[in-house]
Amino acid sequence: MSTPRPATAGRPVLVTGGAGFIGCNLVDRLCHEGHDVVVLDSFARRGTVGNVHWLTGHWGAQVTVVESDVRDTATLHRLARDAAAVFHLAAQVAVTTSLEDPIEDFEVNVQATVALLDALRRAGGGVPLLYASTNKVYGGLADVALEARGDAWHPVDPSLRRLGIDEGRALEFHTPYGCSKGAADQYVLDYARCFGVPTVVFRKSCIYGRRQLGTEDQGWVAHFARRALANEPVTVYGDGRQVRDVLDVHDAVGAYVAAWRRIDAVQGQALNLGGGPENAVSLREVLAEMARLVGHEIPVEHGAWRAGDQRWYVSDPRRARTALDLAPFKPWRDGLADLVSWLALEQGAPLPSARVPVHTPVQVRALA
């Protein structure tokens, strides 16, 4: 694989939202590979302070933390100007929050992203930007005919069942969150097309894993696991047959880093990033596996369907796998066991040791 461009050698990598779940795992990976990293985060989300303490405890002076809102344009421009690459993960991430305050959702997700892109355009030097988009840009998929099979919804179309949704799918934005992330997604692609800024868009499905402190509104896999370990009820909105292709965070981080390494080959592209059909699983199936892992049934309460909730979404990740030469993704049951083990240690919750071994920390191999 190619190395970063000489013009950026010695500069730090900027990770916006670097104290968040995916962000802190990405920072950890970059530090493993010897990079200095600047973390820009507002620390608005629960758990982010703990994530930064974890990073600085492991990596010391390799990590510089800047507490700032991504809407602080002056700070954003200053940090972007001096960066070797920018991984833009900072965002307003919940559909429910976007419905409560669509103006703030727009400012964080669209306005700040355009400001960051324009800072890179004005600075010149070809600094790459890798953007975290979402499967929500494809809308509610109301035209996809589905059938209920046991505990999960499945497409009637056998090709969709086998392959999932690819990047050729027409965009259709639902909810203010979908609109803001979709608009930013398109700006990121257009800055590559119009101004030559080397950008990549990752349209992510459900990412889960260690250091995810999920809530009911975002990060549902970890939220379910935390409730299960505490023997507290889980609220399922809709019928629980909703299907997503889940992807372990270490696989997601590997894709981000590989895209930076191969930026000359993939710039200006949107890539779906999810576990694919082999990791497609319904909420009911996740809860059943969690019950097995924690050793008891999980109380479930039900609520009405939420706005913009797709009954079925599964990524076709073949373009990303081919373009980035990605290794096979971790099977969802293995990843779920690892997450539950980590959360059990964090919460001090006992687990049936014969069922869930406590895994040692993941060893990260540097890219060649």
| DSSP-derived secondary structure for 128-140 | -EEEEEEGGGGTT
CB-CB contact of 154 with 164 (8 Å): no
Six-digit token string for 272: 């779906």
Rounded Cα gap, residues 282 and 151, in angstroms: 7
Six-digit token string for 119: 């800072």
Given 177, 187, 256, 313, the catalytic residue: 177
Rounded Cα gap, residues 238 and 271, in angstroms: 29
CB-CB contact of 98 with 175 (8 Å): yes
Closest Cα to residue 25, out of 222, 224, 226, 181?
222
Closest Cα to residue 85, out of 198, 250, 249?
198
Our answer to whether residue 187 is catalytic in this structure is no
Residues 6+ apart with CB under 8 A from 219: 21, 208, 212, 213
For residue 258, what is the enclosing H or E element?
A: helix 249-261
Cα–Cα separations (whole angstroms), residue 279 to 286, 314, 316: 11, 9, 11
Q: Give first-to-last CA distance, the chain, whole Å.
A: 6
Residues with active-site annotation: 177
